[in-house]
Chain A
Amino acid sequence: MIIASKKPIEEIIQEITPYSRILILGCNECVTVCEAGGKKEVEVLASALRIFCLSQGIEKTIGEHTLERQCDHEYLEEIRNMVDDYDAIVSLACGVGVQFAAEKYLTMPLLPGVNTVCLGANEDRGLWTERCQACGSCVLARTGGICPVSRCAKRVLNGPCGGSTNGKCEISKDTDCAWQLIIDRLKALDKMDDYEAVAPVKDWSKDRAGGPRTVTREDVKI
């Protein structure tokens, strides 16, 4: 799923300064699961902002609402009748949701309430870690199911680099060396011969390098 982290409240307070009626808009999907922008986080942020306004003698209306998804037209329609009561929306969805809402409500300022971090997994309670960079051409079949693009700090496709020490990356002792993981897995799969196959120069045109990407499915189109 998409992993996001909460923005510092000070930053949100800065952003909402010019507006007096603000809707905090949550999303029930990824950001709910990673506890950054679901209904609960909307409540907490809205309450904190109200306490801030009351204690500083600032008059603002802070509203709350959470949508099933912010990356779908039909769910975003749900707030059509509500938006006139506000002069800005703080969206706690990922960057996709913020932009989709912005496209839908052309004259409504949309402010992000979270930082969208990565595509990741819930590795442990309170710990989310990156697993994919959506490079557009998956190499996992050849790397023992461990991704060198997202998990190697240098996205080395023929690794490990010289900085791998005790299975950890040179950038931090807390970061696993992706290539150590790949080798461990290839060994477990009895596929170490795969290691010696050279990964060719990668086609990054399917990555962000190729410009904004689209997926078109004629069979699904109406």
Chain B
Amino acid sequence: MQDTSTKEAFEPRIIGFCCKFCAYAAADLAGSMRISYPASVKIIQVPCTGRIDMIHILKSLEDGADGVMIAGCLEGECHFLQGNFKARSRVEAVRRILAQIGMEPDRVAMFNLSSAMGPKFAEITAQMTDRIRQLGPSPVAAAGKKSRDAA
């Protein structure tokens, strides 16, 4: 059991799959606007969130990520028309799997924004970081650390 102080201290590791047409560009914009956002989110650029498969999200968690966020274009504005909708349904499928295996579904979340929304990018990463901090470290990460320590 963790008390609040350790939760505060805990620095989550979050994988952020960002569509290059929106979220990734928004992150860039946030940078040029000198808006800081949490360093906890490791950004992976994808050509479209529709490229993300369930296995990419699961592998991230399996390899010790505390959370995974998928950030795609605003609904109706996907460059590939339906990519972000597909991503959303896959995110939902992963969340259902997490519920089945006893892990908090909230470790995985989908966001939508446009390339012009630099501040919004900072906002959602902060929100996600906050949420994962509340949930605490992933038990998978803890187990991984234990086995690494043992070795």
Contact = CB atoms under 8 A, between A and B. Distances in A.
Contacts of A47: 55, 58-59, 62
B101 A55 contact: yes
A43 B138 CA distance: 21
Contacts of A50: 62
Question: SS class of chain A's interface: helix, strand, loop or mixed?
Answer: helix
A40 B61 CA distance: 17
B88 to A, nearest CB: 14
A8 B55 CA distance: 17
B140 A54 contact: yes
Contacts of B143: 54-55, 57
Contact of B103 (A40, A49, A55): A55
A10, A48, A49, A54, most chain B CB atoms within 10 A: A54
B53 A52 contact: no
Contacts of B140: 51, 54-55
B139 A40 contact: no
A44 B59 CA distance: 9
Nearest to A10: B100
B141 to A, nearest CB: 9
Contacts of A48: 58, 97, 100-101
Nearest to A47: B58
A9 B58 CA distance: 14
B62 A54 contact: yes
B144 A52 contact: no
Interface string A41-83: 0011001111110111100000000000000000000000000
Contact of A44 (B55, B102, B138): B55
Question: SS class of chain B's interface: helix, strand, loop or mixed?
Answer: helix
Interface residues of B, number: 18
B54 interface: yes
Contacts of B62: 47, 50-51, 54
A105 to B, nearest CB: 27
Contact of B101 (A40, A43, A51): A51
Contact of B53 (A40, A49, A56): A40
Contacts of A49: 101
A9 B54 CA distance: 15
A55 B138 contact: yes
A9, A13, A49, A51, most chain B CB atoms within 10 A: A51
B136 to A, nearest CB: 12
A10 to B, nearest CB: 5
Contact of B58 (A10, A51, A55, A56): A51
26 contacts: A9-B97, A9-B100, A10-B100, A40-B53, A40-B55, A44-B55, A44-B58, A44-B97, A47-B55, A47-B58, A48-B97, A48-B100, A48-B101, A50-B62, A51-B58, A51-B61, A51-B62, A52-B102, A52-B103, A54-B62, A54-B140, A54-B144, A55-B101, A55-B140, A57-B139, A57-B143
Ordered nearest first, which 10 A-B pairs have the shortest CB separation?
Answer: A55-B139, A52-B101, A47-B58, A54-B140, A9-B100, A54-B143, A43-B55, A48-B97, A55-B140, A51-B62
Interface of A: 8-10, 13, 40, 43-44, 47-52, 54-57
Interface of B: 53-55, 58-59, 61-62, 97-98, 100-103, 138-140, 143-144
Given A9-B97, A55-B102, A55-B140, 7 more contacts: A9-B100, A47-B58, A47-B59, A51-B103, A51-B140, A52-B103, A55-B143
